[in-house]
Chains A and B, each alone.
Chain A
Amino acid sequence: SQTIHQWPATLVQPVGSPLSLECTVEGTSNPNLYWYRQAAGRGLQLLFYSVGIGQISSEVPQNLSASRPQDRQFILSSKKLLLSDSGFYLCAWSVNKNTEAFFGQGTRLTVV
């Protein structure tokens, strides 16, 4: 069966520090991968999605970037965090477009 792993679960980082969040999927090949951000009590905002290695689509201009160095690995990064980067970050995967997506447990990021 397929599983998705996301870490760390919580993270507290100072303003201006770098960020690296990792997501990996097991049990499937060439999945579509997604990064979402959820502000407190709000909906899910799509940040990036990828349909293959090295292919990244950005939905919202921001202080973040994403990379897909391997088929089942999706990384969310920042060179210098801002206070506004705080939030709940969720990784998800789907077999392809138009199919159900499955989520990781999320990373709670607090920038101080």
Chain B
Amino acid sequence: GQQLNQSPQSMFIQEGEDVSMNCTSSSIFNTWLWYKQDPGEGPVLLIALYKAGELTSNGRLTAQFGITRKDSFLNISASIPSDVGIYFCAGYANQAGTALIFGKGTTLSVSS
């Protein structure tokens, strides 16, 4: 089946630092989504990307849809303690009948 390779698996940073994580696939994707999950809760949508090359920001977050349509990255600038959580990439592959699949997540820890 389809797989998304998300890296890094975890990150430990200081408050104020910038963060970058990415997601790759061997297949072409039509849509890339980035979510954040806090403990014991459902994932919350951060950014949605629909076109190759698209660069979208949401506050301190910026994400891009790779031009090959096989990758995406998420950047967080000037991290703060409330950025702590698990970040997931997700997407729909360019194949009939495929549903939304997720990467394994990046756990972010921020020390003040």
Contact = CB atoms under 8 A, between A and B. Distances in A.
Interface of A: 6, 32, 34, 36, 41-44, 46, 49, 57, 59, 88, 90, 92, 94, 97-106, 108
B59 interface: no
B40 A101 contact: no
Interface of B: 1, 6, 30-31, 33, 35, 40-45, 48, 50, 88, 90, 92, 97-105, 107
Main secondary structure of the interface of A (DSSP, over half): strand
Given A90-B42, A101-B90, A104-B42, A57 B99 contact: yes
Contacts of B99: 32, 34, 46, 49, 57, 59, 97
Nearest to A45: B102
A90 B101 CA distance: 13
